[in-house]
Amino acid sequence: MPEEEPTTSPALPRRKVFTSLAATAAVAGTAGVFAGQALAQPAVAGPEPTVPFHGEHQPGIAMPQQKHAVFVAFQLLPKDMRTGKELTEKQVAAKLAALLEDWTATAEALMRGADPQPLASHTKSHFATEAIAEGLNPARLTITLGMGPWAFRMAGLADRAPRHLTELPDFPGDQLNPGWSGGDLLLQICGDDPQVISEAFLSMRARVMGTCQLKWTQQGFLSTPKGATPRNLMGHKDGTANPGFDSPEFAETVWSKKDEPEWFSGGSYLIFRKIRMRLPEWSLATADKQNRSIGRHRDTGAGLGAETETAELDLDAKDGKGKPVIPIDAHVRRVKDVPMFRRSFNYDYGFLTQKELQQDDHATGTDGHSHDKHPYDAGLLFTAYVADPANFIEAQDKMSESDALNEFVINTGSAIFAVPPGVSEGQSWARGLFG
């Protein structure tokens, strides 16, 4: 009865291990480790699309954006699952350290297209892996870890927390849904293949049992035209002002400052904002209204009054009547010179509430464009990497006060995470934090 014998773990062939020049460089020594990140860009065009896991910085930041992302937030469990007893800070810390060890090994394997170690709770009667991505290549899969302010407190690590890690304040106008805000741990999982991302998500999630629980997930996508800046669902280019990966400005903008704890050197902060766009209303606005709301020409991406996308914005320019060429409340005024690296993704979740549409909706005769009862949830998963969240907070305050875009967008999600530095081979995400 061979067909009744369980297919045991060893019977499962390991997936082909993909390698890349970049990965090879990354393990070639200290210089190589650093080069690993720098080489992430060339790896894109290559035939074996893996991104190196090891390096001075975590993967999934200083590299061209992949086509898909899922942001996954977890919350640490304050009690023991079995006894129901409150955990001490030391116990939380021990669980967290073990999870970070396990996650590091799992993420590293997944990123190079290998099977992660079977779960400790699995027996030989279980499949070793999920098999969802069997036969698919990693397609630039990256897994990036973030840690929220609460995680450091719960684990008794407040004194080791990155210096600029602070809860984001409530900004005026925010309509935050806790269902996609906050979180103690974050995984940013990016790649060009959503099915590979799904397997990575399930594999990483399975590891958290007993230590944390899933709080929220948000999925986005982004298509980058050849040699051009990608566009958001408003049709506008997004990320024009980003510093180039190789520029000193990038390092200054993104990587941790000198005043941080030593273990955090090479780290960053991730700011996540879910921004719902009122797309039908936007589509009904005139071209002029759209361009003046942003402060740029939609089609070229050039600032108003400028000819090219990359030309410096002239905020002082006046028209013949003495009025500012770039309107006083244009979006670009609020964000100009704010040091941040934007790595946002578009999203489209359909109807927000997923609630039952009543049968009598069939008889309401409402306009197909108006769905206040059932808001349509599409827009931008705004993601910025910064060396200092204070700059973002200041800019967001200005935007919330007066920004022409506010008529067309609603901030419905908000979260901040410290992004630990990358690790070398043999090290784990727990290393720096737990000394």
Residue 123 in 3-state DSSP?
coil
Rg (CA), the chain: 23
Q: Is 120 in the site for a copy of itself (CB under 8 A)?
A: no
Q: Select from 315, 378, 393, 410 the one that contacts a copy of itself (CB under 8 A).
A: 378
Nearer to a copy of itself, 65 or 268 (CB): 65
CB of 205 to a copy of itself, least distance (A): 7
Per-position DSSP letters for 333-376, written without gaps between them: HHHTT---EE--EEEEEEESS-PPPPGGGGGT---TT--SSS-E
Q: Is 310 in the site for a copy of itself (CB under 8 A)?
A: no
Region 315-344 residues binding a copy of itself, contact defined as CB under 8 A: 319-321, 325
Q: Is 304 in the site for a copy of itself (CB under 8 A)?
A: yes
CA distance 212 to 250: 34
Contact present, 51 and 168 (Cβ < 8 Å): no
Q: Is 308 in the site for a copy of itself (CB under 8 A)?
A: no
CA distance 25 to 53: 12
CA distance 335 to 205: 35
Q: Select from 91, 213, 240, 424 the one that contacts a copy of itself (CB under 8 A).
A: 213
Region 84-103 residues binding a copy of itself, contact defined as CB under 8 A: 84
CA distance 35 to 46: 17
CA distance 102 to 51: 20
Residue 145 in 3-state DSSP?
strand
Nearer to a copy of itself, 13 or 426 (CB): 13
CB of 27 to a copy of itself, least distance (A): 28
Nearer to a copy of itself, 253 or 383 (CB): 383
Nearer to a copy of itself, 11 or 27 (CB): 11
Q: Is 48 in the site for a copy of itself (CB under 8 A)?
A: no
Q: Is 356 in the site for a copy of itself (CB under 8 A)?
A: yes
CB of 231 to a copy of itself, least distance (A): 6
Q: Helix 194-206 vs helix 89-111: angle between axes, to the nearest 10 degrees?
A: 150
Q: Is 47 in the site for a copy of itself (CB under 8 A)?
A: no
CA distance 135 to 354: 34
Number of residues that bind a copy of itself (CB under 8 A): 113
Helix (H) or strand (E) holding 385: strand 376-386
How far is CA 431 from each of CA 34, 36, 65, 258, 296, rounded to the nearest angstrom?
18, 20, 28, 20, 45
> Which part of the chain contacts a copy of itself (CB under 8 A), choosing from 6-14, 40-48, 90-98, 397-405?
6-14
Q: Select from 10, 47, 135, 322 the one that contacts a copy of itself (CB under 8 A).
A: 135
Q: Is 376 in the site for a copy of itself (CB under 8 A)?
A: yes
Region 170-189 residues binding a copy of itself, contact defined as CB under 8 A: 177-180
Nearer to a copy of itself, 134 or 252 (CB): 134
> Which part of the chain contacts a copy of itself (CB under 8 A), choosing from 110-118, 282-290, 332-340, 425-433?
282-290
Q: Select from 21, 94, 251, 279 the one that contacts a copy of itself (CB under 8 A).
A: 279
Q: Select from 27, 158, 202, 390 the one that contacts a copy of itself (CB under 8 A).
A: 202
Region 64-83 residues binding a copy of itself, contact defined as CB under 8 A: 67-68, 70, 74-75, 77-81
Contact present, 218 and 69 (Cβ < 8 Å): no
Q: Select from 249, 252, 348, 425 the one that contacts a copy of itself (CB under 8 A).
A: 348
Per-position DSSP letters for 32-98, written without gaps between them: HHHHHHHTHHHHTTSSS----S-SSS-SSSSS---SEEEEEEEEE-SB-TTT-PBPPHHHHHHHHHH
CA distance 288 to 293: 8
Residues shown for the chain: 435
Nearer to a copy of itself, 112 or 231 (CB): 231
Nearer to a copy of itself, 61 or 139 (CB): 139
Tokens of 96: 């967290």
One symbol per residue from 215 to 254: x for binding a copy of itself (CB under 8 A), - otherwise; what is it? xxxxx-xxx-xx-x--xxx-xx------------------
Neighbours of 141 (CB within 10 A): 31
